[in-house]
C-alpha cells in the first residue's frame, strides 16, 4: 500500500471512532437537555457544546461520505442514455465541477477560520473559541478536495472504480 493509502487508512481508523463518540455524546446531550427542561432546571450552555460537536460530526461524516462515494447523487444520465461513453463524460464533468466547488468552499472555509482566529470570538457561556467549530469546515473541505482529485484521476483513467467497495480498501 502506498503512503497515501496508509494515510487514508489512518484517517478512517481515527474518524470512525470519533464519529461514534461524538454521535453518542450528542444523543446523550439531547436527552439531558430535554429531561432537565422537563424538570424545570435546564443545563446552561449545553447548546454551545452541542453546536461544536454537531459541526464536527456533520463535517467528518460528509468527508467520509465523499471518501466512500456514498453521498447523494442524481445520476439521471444513466436513465436517459444507455451509452457508457456518455456516462463516463458525464461523470468526468460532474467530478470536475465538484472539485472546483470544493476548492471554492475550501477558500471560503479558510477565510472564515482565519476571521475567527483574528477576531478571537468565543461562545457566551463557556468562552469556547468559535474557530474550533469553524475549523471543521476547513478540515472537511480539504478532505473533499483530496477525495475529488482521487475520483477525477480515476475518471480520467477510465477505471471501473465505482463498482468496488472503498470501505474494503482500508480493511
What would the pLDDT profile of 100-154 be if each residue is shown by its tens digit? 999 999 999 999 999 999 998 999 999 999 999 999 999 999 999 999 999 998 8
Q: Write the DSSP assignment of 59-93 as a string of letters.
A: HHHHHHHHHHT-S----THHHH---HHHHHHHHHH
Burial label for 105, CB within 10 Å (0-12, 13-18, 19+), is middle
Question: Do 106 and 169 meet the contact criterion of CB atoms below 8 Å apart?
Answer: no
**R_g (Cα) of the chain, nearest Å:** 20
pLDDT of residue 167: 46
What would the pLDDT profile of 24-65 be if each residue is shown by its tens digit? 999 999 999 999 999 998 888 999 999 999 999 999 999 999
What would the pLDDT profile of 55-111 be if each residue is shown by its tens digit? 999 999 999 999 988 876 667 777 888 888 888 888 899 899 999 999 999 999 999
Amino acid at each position: 500500500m502506498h503512503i497515501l493509502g496508509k494515510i487514508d487508512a489512518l484517517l478512517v481508523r481515527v474518524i470512525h471512532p470519533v464519529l461514534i463518540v461524538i454521535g453518542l455524546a450528542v444523543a446523550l446531550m439531547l436527552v439531558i437537555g430535554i429531561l432537565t427542561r422537563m424538570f424545570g432546571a435546564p443545563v446552561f450552555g449545553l447548546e454551545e457544546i452541542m453546536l461544536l460537536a454537531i459541526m464536527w460530526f456533520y463535517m467528518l461524516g460528509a468527508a467520509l461520505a465523499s471518501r466512500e462515494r456514498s453521498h447523494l447523487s442524481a445520476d439521471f444520465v444513466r436513465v436517459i442514455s444507455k451509452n457508457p461513453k456518455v456516462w463516463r463524460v458525464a461523470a468526468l464533468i460532474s467530478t470536475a465541477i465538484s472539485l472546483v466547488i470544493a476548492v471554492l468552499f475550501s477558500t471560503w472555509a479558510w477565510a472564515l477560520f482565519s476571521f475567527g482566529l483574528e477576531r478571537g470570538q468565543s461562545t457566551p457561556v463557556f468562552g469556547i473559541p468559535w474557530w474550533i467549530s469553524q475549523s471543521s469546515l476547513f478540515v472537511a473541505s480539504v478532505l473533499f478536495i483530496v477525495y475529488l482529485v482521487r475520483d477525477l484521476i480515476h475518471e480520467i483513467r477510465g477505471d471501473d472504480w465505482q463498482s468496488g467497495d472503498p470501505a474494503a480498501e482500508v480493511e
